[in-house]
Chain A
Amino acid sequence: MSNSPKKKLVTLTIDGFQVTARPGMTVKAAAAKAGITIPTLCFLRGVSAIGSCRVCSVELEGHDGFITACNTPVADGMVIHTDTERVRTYRRNLLRIILADHGLDSTAYCFSCAKNGACQLQALCNAYGATEPAWRVEQERKPILESNPFLAYDPNLCIRCQRCVGACNTQARNHTLHTAKRGMRTTIEAPFGPDWKATTCESCGCCAAACPTGAIVEKRRRTYRSWETRRVRTTCPHCAVGCQYDLVVRNNRIVDVDAAPGQTNDRRLCVKGRSASFDFVDAPDRLRTPLVRNPTTHELEPASWDEALDAVAEGLGRVKREYGPDALAGFACSRSTNEDIYLFEKMVRCAFGTNNVDNCARI
């Protein structure tokens, strides 16, 4: 069957630059090669390219409509203009229409929105001078769904770009979050209402991470402002998969995490990584110094690391001498990194001399 992909590179012109691109590449990706950024809103790489917002529309010479750069593959000889006056006007007006749908004065004004400063719609509207909605819409104030312990959905702020739907389907592969009421009444049905437990939602938060506005958010986002934070790339300690994420840190305290493009997770996280693997760092009941039990009072008392390790080594050594190595066992916490657990296992096998070792990671 002659369906072998043609390897021939294609050449096109974008804003006057000759760009060579692989067949199958999108116009947006080809433009990026030439250092030209085409703005997008509903597009999320690897997650959603349904071309619903039309903000990435560009002019293609010889074509009587606009094409969307996010999902149109390059073709040889294309002549594309990404930033003409007409393109900029259309973009501004599209953004103004989206603003009219965004429920600006319904439940959250920009300043009171959890995504203020991190909202893609806000940034694009600033960049294109879309300062007010295209038309006035009577605000309905639909109820916010926030029974889920981690996630909240404010339908008033939803612009129906369907990035969350793509995230639930292609990232989480959970197929829980849907569109409903089709046609011009299309809405997003996020399973965060009172019956959230009865749904198949795993609270992984891929949808919130995908949302370009403040419609779907991790609730913890309401506790900080993005401009107050810095990011520290690390590995999720919660299981052996090794997902990469950025700790979002404010005043040296971890307030959130943001999935990073790690090899194993490619911008995805599960509910444990996103919501359960860092709060213990600053937990008030966290042990901050070793404790050794006073043999007289039987109370735990703070000790130095040297004192504590000596006490442990002496105790374990005594058991091993008196009862043999198999009287000992090691059991590690699942929130430890692979490296820590590897060393722990080495210690149990080599120093203890037993194979009694396990870990509670059962993800």
Chain B
Amino acid sequence: MAMLSVAPKSPDDERLGAFVDDFRRRVDSTPLGVCPLVVTLTALETAAGQTCGKCVPCRDGIPHLVELMRTLVDCDADASVVDEMRELSQLVRDTSDCAIGYHAADQLLAALDAFSAEVESHLERHACTAGIGQTVPCETGCPAHVNVPGYIALVAAGDNAGAVAMVRKDNPFPTACGLVCEHPCEAKCRRRLIDDAINIRGIKKYATDQAPADHVPVPRRSPDTGCRIAVVGGGPAGMTCAYFASLMGHRVTVFERRSKLGGMMRYGIPAYRFPRERLDEDLRAILSVGGIEVKYGAEIGTEEFEALRRDYDAVFVAIGAHTGRTLSIDNIDADGVIPAVQLLGDIGDGAEPDMTGKRVVVIGGGNVAMDCSRTALRAGAREVSIVYRRRQEDMTALQSEVLSAVAEGVEMVTLEAPAAIEVDDAGHCTALLTQPQMTGPIRNGRPSPVALDVPQHRIPADLILVAVGQDIVSGPFNAAGMPTNRNRFVADDALRVPDMPGVYAGGDCQTGPKTVIKAIGAGKVAARNIDEYLGYHHTLPFDIAVPAPHPNDRTPVGRVNIAERPARERRCDFAGVEIGMSAQEARQECARCLRCDVYGIGSAEGGRVQYE
């Protein structure tokens, strides 16, 4: 009699699961600057190891592709090798029986296209392209290239003020980034190989909690150059440019349309995420440099911009993306339908909207939608729903923001596309009509929604907030000759506006709506390049030494996450939601840093991305 067994067919399958999880962490932490063809080769080798051995193209073709790919990686291949690879890949893709084969070939073909510049460099220059080469991952990933290991070591040594100064060497918004940065620095943290990425943002928040930015003196301003720089827009890009340019000794005038500085940090990000008094700490420190004049309520139109070009030695345009996109559905102009940016902007100016008892519907799935919905709760709304045409996991908002909104009681109404707005006789909105969707084919990495053939739903709404993206008011500048592309200013990698010597543009108005730290990085680049344009080459003194490293402690330790106040409590007020790290937690978190600035590539030539 044939006996059955409960044992797995291959006893190692279960153990392999844990091994693959560990392997996945390695893939996830693929260092920045690795040659993409090397990664492609690795993926191909993985595929070759997975072939079951049945079919010819996969069993024999992929190993041969591995060999060809290796000669390309080694820079020993000529164009015929690439041709052979393409031809063989197409065969494997089109004739394989299962996905192990055809996916591998498909992936290789996609890689050869995506990394065509690298392929060409390997073939013709027998070397990688110029940018290839590893560097310290946190510092490189940060658009402002902040010396992350440096300030973590300072916090570990108990020198929080030194840490704030170390951040500010490259980024004058240590508090803002401690509170709201999307922390690209953590994405490739090498610590992930052992357990998890360092909570870099949390450590920075801890440093600014302990040593408020406006209590840490800024460096001394360089001797006055007499050069005048106009900065249009007092947001993160503009104020960063103003900070560095004024430290270099230039005279800066910031033209701010609103009544206060901060840009989207004040007029977009709600106070519960970034308390205003904390933003003011950064701004006070920046203005304490001296040499920065701010003109509030300064609307810069075509004529004013032309005057700035005449009257100033250089102009940095950093006006952000402050108008809301809209939807083309019926009654979008009805009473009670408000663009998200308008709501958040008014609050930035001190408005305290009262939504007591109202049913609020927010349209959109980005961070702004989360901000609006959580603001609505705090303004007393009876119920708040987010209506989104894709799935929750497809939302562009940070998943942590989505979860926080859910925890506070926001209803996620997903796979519902806004179809029309229902209004009463007075023209006030009463409901959002939606067309149910199902998730469909993946385009550009996200499944696109497909309308279901079912009747529309009706979601009652006293107030509808539209958070479907922001736009840039670039028209007046465009009229003065600044080129735009889809309303975004056109500038080169040095942020120079073409054919307009002395005019620079950066931040959201050049990139489209992005992050605070990207805008800060742009502000720094603009200040540096304006300095060079004006004929200077200022280097800013900095004399804080990075503490010596301790040998790496390789013991896996959990990551300290930042806790939030209980949802049912925090949803009732606009006070900050995050609870900072304790000294004990900060110490443990800092001790996990592997000090890549000293160990590994950071110690070798070219291993750092740092400005002098």
Q: Which residue of B73, B134, B216, B606 is within 8 Å of A1 (Cβ)?
A: B216
Let me know if B545 and A3 touch, CB within 8 A.
yes
B217 proximity list for chain A (CB < 8 A):
1
Q: Are B554 and A71 in contact (CB under 8 A)?
A: no
Count chain A CB atoms within 10 A of each CB in B127, B134, B551, B552 and give the residue with the most.
Answer: B551
Least CB distance, B71 to chain A, in whole angstroms: 12
Q: How far is the CB of B155 from chain A (nearest CB, A)?
A: 12
The A contact surface, by secondary structure, is loop
Q: Residue A75 at the B interface, CB < 8 A?
A: yes
B250 to A: closest C-beta gap in Å: 26
Q: Please state if A162 and B159 are interface contacts (CB–CB under 8 Å).
A: no
Question: Does A7 make an interface contact (CB < 8 A)?
Answer: no
Nearest-neighbour CB distance to chain B for A8, whole angstroms, equals 13
B133 touches A (CB below 8 Å): yes
A234 contacts B by Cβ under 8 Å: no
Residues of A within 8 A of B554 (CB): 64-65
With A50-B603, A72-B551, A75-B550 as known contacts, state yes or no: A182 contacts B133, CB within 8 Å.
yes
**Which of A5, A23, A24, A182 counts the most B-chain CB atoms under 10 A from its CB?**
A182
* Given A3-B162, A50-B603, A52-B604: A182 touches B134 (CB 8 Å cut-off): yes
Instruction: Flag A150-191 by CB within 8 Å of B: 1 or 0 each.
Output: 000000000000100110010000000011111101000000
A259 to chain B, nearest CB (A): 21
B552: nearest residue on chain A (CB-CB)?
A65
Q: Which of B152-167 contact A (CB under 8 A)?
A: 154, 158-159, 161-162, 165
Q: Which residues of A have CB within 8 Å of B548?
A: 23-24, 73
CA–CA, A301 and B605, complex, Å: 59
Assess A71 versus B34: contact at CB under 8 Å? Given A64-B554, A65-B552, A181-B127: no
Q: Which of B35, B38, B544, B605 contacts A3 (CB 8 A)?
A: B544
Residues of B within 8 A of A52 (CB): 604
Interface of B is mostly: loop
Number of A-B contacts (CB under 8 A): 72
- B35 touches which of A1, A65, A71, A182 (Cβ 8 Å): A182
Q: Which of A1, A49, A165, A182 contacts B33 (CB 8 A)?
A: A182
What residues of A have a CB within 8 angstroms of the CB of B549 in the complex?
A: 72-73
- Nearest residue, chain A, Cβ from B598: A71
B-facing mask of A1-29, CB < 8 A → 1, else 0?
11101000000000000000001100000
Q: Which of A60, A73, A178 has the most CB of B within 10 A?
A: A73
Judge whether B128 is part of the interface by a CB distance below 8 angstroms: yes
A178 to B551, CA, bound (A): 28
Alpha-carbon gap, A75 to B548, bound state (A)? 10
For B158, the chain A residues whose CB sits under 8 A away are 2
CB under 8 Å from chain B, chain A span 62-110 = 63-65, 67, 71-73, 75
Give Cα distance in the complex from A182 to B35, angstroms. Answer: 8
Does any Cβ of A come within 8 Å of B22's Cβ?
Answer: no
Measured between alpha carbons, how far is A162 from B75 in the docked complex, in Å?
21
Q: Does A51 contact B (CB under 8 A)?
A: yes
Chain B contacts of A63 at CB under 8 A? 551, 553
Report B584-612 CB contacts with A as 1/0, cut-off 8 Å: 00000000000000110001111000000
* B154 contacts across to A, CB distance below 8 A: 3
- Asked whether A179 lies within 8 Å of B606 as measured between CB atoms, the reply is yes
Q: Is B110 an interface residue (CB 8 A)?
A: no
Complex contact A185–B162 (CB within 8 A): no
The answer on a CB contact under 8 Å between B604 and A64 is no
Query: In angstroms, how far is the closest chain B Cβ from the Cβ of A48?
Result: 9
With A1-B216, A2-B161, A3-B544 in contact, is A162–B605 under 8 Å at CB? yes
Output the residue of A23, A67, A72, A181 with the most chain B CB within 10 A. A181
Query: Is B10 an interface residue when CB atoms closer than 8 A count as contact?
Result: no
Say if the beta carbon of B534 comes within 8 Å of chain A: no
Most buried by A among B133, B159, B216: B133
A residues near B606, Cβ cutoff 8 Å: 178-179
Contact (Cβ within 8 A) A181 B159: no
Instruction: Check A1 against B603 for contact (C-beta < 8 Å).
Output: no
Enumerate chain B residues within 8 angstroms of A185, measured Cβ to Cβ. Answer: 73-75
B555 at the interface (CB under 8 A from A): yes
Is B545 in contact with A71, judged by CB distance below 8 angstroms? no
Q: CA–CA, A212 to B549, complex, Å?
A: 28
- Chain A residues with Cβ under 8 A from B604's Cβ? 50, 52, 162, 165, 179
Cα separation A182 to B133 with both chains bound (whole Å): 6
Interface residue? B132 (CB, 8 A): yes
Using Cβ atoms and an 8 Å threshold, which residues of chain B touch A2? 158-159, 161-162
User: Who on chain A is nearest to B160 by CB?
Assistant: A2
User: Given A1-B161, A1-B165, A3-B159, do A179 and B545 touch, yes or no (CB 8 Å)?
Assistant: no
Report how far A165 CA is from B601 CA in the complex, Å. 14
* Chain A contacts for B605, CB-based, 8 A: 162, 165-166, 169, 178-179
Flag if B34 contacts A183 (CB, 8 Å). Answer: yes
Q: Which residue of B lies closest to A27 (CB)?
A: B551
- Complex contact A183–B38 (CB within 8 A): yes
CB pair B555 A64 closer than 8 Å: yes
Q: How far is the CB of A31 from chain B (nearest CB, A)?
A: 15
- Min CB–CB distance A36 → chain B (angstroms): 19
Q: A50-B604, A185-B74 are in contact. Are A1 and B162 (CB under 8 A)?
A: yes
Contacts of A180 in B (CB 8 A): 127-128
**B523-571: which have CB < 8 Å to A?**
544-545, 548-555
| B516 CB to nearest chain A CB (Å) | 26
Q: Which residue of A lies closest to B165 (CB)?
A: A1
Is B545 a contact of A181 with CB atoms below 8 Å? no
B604 — nearest CB in chain A belongs to which residue? Answer: A50
**Bound form: Cα–Cα A5–B548 in Å:** 11
Chain A residues whose CB sits within 8 angstroms of the CB of B552 once the complex forms: 65
C-alpha spacing A75/B132, complex, angstroms: 36
Task: Write the chain A residue with the least CB distance to B548.
Answer: A73
A182, B132: Cβ atoms closer than 8 Å? yes
Complex-state Cα separation, A178 to B552, whole angstroms: 28
Tell me which residues across on chain B come within 8 A of A5, comparing CB atoms. 545
Q: Among the listed A65, A67, A71, which residue makes an inter-chain contact with B603, where contact means beta carbons less than 8 Å apart?
A: A71
CA distance A1 to B545 in the complex (A): 11
How far is A73 from B545 in the complex, measured between Cα atoms in Å? 15
Inter-chain CA distance A81–B165, complex, in Å, is 39
Instruction: Determine how close the nearest CB of chain B comes to the CB of A225; give it in whole angstroms.
Output: 33
Q: How far is the CB of A21 from chain B (nearest CB, A)?
A: 12
Q: How many whole Å from B210's CB to the nearest CB in chain A?
A: 12
Please, which residues of chain B bring their CB within 8 A of the CB of A165?
604-605
Complex Cα gap A102–B379 (Å):
72
Contact mask A215-235 → B, CB, 8 Å, 1/0? 000000000000000000000
Q: Are B128 and A181 touching (Cβ within 8 A)?
A: yes
In the complex, what residue of chain A is closest to B549 when comparing beta carbons?
A73
Most buried by B among A50, A64, A162: A50
B128 pairs with A182, CB closer than 8 A: yes
Most A CB atoms within 10 A — which of B134, B548, B598?
B548
Complex alpha-carbon distance, A49 and B545, angstroms: 18
Q: Which residues in chain B, 32-81, are within 8 Å of chain A measured between CB atoms?
A: 33-35, 38, 73-75
Give the nearest-CB partner of B164 in chain A. Answer: A1
Provide the residues of chain A in CB contact with B544, threshold 8 Å: 1, 3
Which chain B positions have C-beta within 8 A of A60? Answer: 551
**CA A257 to CA B548, docked complex, whole Å:** 37
Distance in angstroms between the alpha carbons of A336 and B165 in the assembled complex: 52
The residues of B with any CB-CB pair to A shorter than 8 Å are: 33-35, 38, 73-75, 127-128, 132-134, 154, 158-159, 161-162, 165, 216-217, 544-545, 548-555, 598-599, 603-606
Q: Would you list 24 pairs from A and B whose C-beta atoms are within 8 A, ordered by A residue?
A: A1-B165, A1-B544, A51-B603, A60-B551, A64-B554, A65-B551, A65-B552, A65-B554, A71-B598, A71-B603, A72-B551, A73-B548, A162-B604, A165-B605, A166-B605, A179-B133, A179-B606, A181-B75, A182-B128, A182-B133, A182-B134, A183-B35, A183-B134, A185-B74
Query: Lowest 10 CB-CB distances: which A-B pairs, in order?
Result: A73-B548, A50-B603, A182-B133, A3-B162, A50-B604, A67-B551, A165-B605, A1-B161, A3-B544, A63-B551
**Known pairs A1-B159, A5-B545, A165-B605. 4 more at Cβ < 8 A?**
A51-B603, A72-B551, A182-B33, A182-B35
